[in-house]
Amino acid sequence: MGKSEAGKAESAKSSADDLTGRRILITGAARNIGSSLARRLYDRGASVGLLGLEPELLEQVATSCGRAPWQLCDVADLAQVSRGVDHIAEKLGGIDVVVVVANAGVEANSSILGGDPADMRRAVEVNLMGTYYTLRAAGPHISHENGYALVVASAHGAAKHPFRGPFGASRAGVEALGDALRLEMKHLGTKVGVAYIGDIDTDTTALSFDGARGTLASVGTTTVADAVDAFERGIVGRKSRVHAPRRSAAVRHIAQRAIDLRPSHIRGVA
């Protein structure tokens, strides 16, 4: 490769890695992954817009991100999601990337036969329908060759665990939504990624990213910073798969095999 060609290649790479001016909508932006990701992307030069449920925290994050636009939004409410997405799009002058963090997603530790049907309903309403509503509302805004969506399916949703059927089903549904949308938007140049996230260790307590202590410890844990790193790599590279920790890509398949080989008379199963 000649000097001029090498220069062009380096310039193209720098352009691809540069987030300056990218307009990024983040749901679940009030705390933990969402807030840290917003600050990281803002520091990289992106313009961010925030949706979430906690106004005081959202305002703090928005202030630290150059007074970014924000709005209260319950992702389980289609009307609120539609208004919130349109509000952010108007304030940012469009949307290039939507990241459905939903780090307040519902974790329903409930058996299929003996659990409360309300657990299943709420898991679907927040985890699955919330993601669906966000993608549906943001879709028209990211329907261009630089558009990208990243949804969180969870490593736990990928490995089907007893007593977590409602949660696993809802997160597996999120994975299916992401994979389907990737094919539906391919002709537009828009790309769609699915993130598989294990248990997240916060600074103060070890919490699951999805709201409960890690019942599938074999998938592994990661820090908030490591998870944000993974999200950032996915957004910069417009990747179709994102894993945090990285080893969860292989470990989740081993974990599922171990689960499947457990005795059928697990305590608590009718």
| Residues 5-28: tens digit of each pLDDT | 444 444 334 445 679 999 999 999
CA-to-CA distance for 107 and 8, rounded, in angstroms?
48
Per DSSP bridges, beta strands 191-197 and 148-152 are parallel
Mean pLDDT of 108-132: 86
Instruction: Please give the distance of CA 199 from its chain centroid, rounded to a whole number.
Output: 14
Q: In what order do the strands lie in the sheet with 199-201?
A: 206-207, 199-201, 221-223
Phi-psi region of 203 (alpha: psi -120 to 50; beta: other; left: phi over 0): alpha
> pLDDT at position 165, please?
78
> pLDDT at position 143, please?
97
pLDDT (tens digit per residue) in 179-188? 999 999 999 9
Which residues lie closer than 8 Å to 173 by C-beta, 6 or more apart? 124, 127, 128
* Band of residue 191 on the pLDDT scale cut at 50, 70, 90: very high
Residue 107 has pLDDT above 70, yes or no: no
CA angle 243, 37, 167 (to 5 degrees): 50
Mean pLDDT of 54-72: 97
> pLDDT at position 256, please?
40
Strand pairing partners for 197? 244
CA-to-CA distance for 24 and 65, rounded, in angstroms?
12
Which residues lie closer than 8 Å to 85 by C-beta, 6 or more apart? 25, 51, 95, 98, 134, 137, 138, 141
Q: What is the mean pLDDT of the chain?
A: 80
Instruction: Give the dihedral sign, CA 138/139/145/150.
Output: positive
Between 18 and 196, the more confident residue is 196
Contact 112, 123 (CB under 8 A): no
pLDDT (tens digit per residue) in 200-248? 664 433 333 344 344 444 445 678 888 899 999 999 999 999 988 765 5
Between 73 and 203, the more confident residue is 73
pLDDT (tens digit per residue) in 253-263? 444 444 445 55
> pLDDT at position 25, please?
98
> pLDDT at position 261, please?
53
The dihedral over CA atoms of 161, 162, 163, 167, expressed in degrees to the nearest 10, equals: 30
> pLDDT at position 204, please?
33
Considering only 66-70, 106-110, 208-212, which range has the smallest mean pLDDT?
208-212
> pLDDT at position 166, please?
81
Residue 106 has pLDDT above 70, yes or no: no
> pLDDT at position 163, please?
75
Mean pLDDT of 79-100: 98
Closest listed residue to residue 166, CA positions, set 220, 198, 126, 196: 126
* pTM of the full structure: 0.79
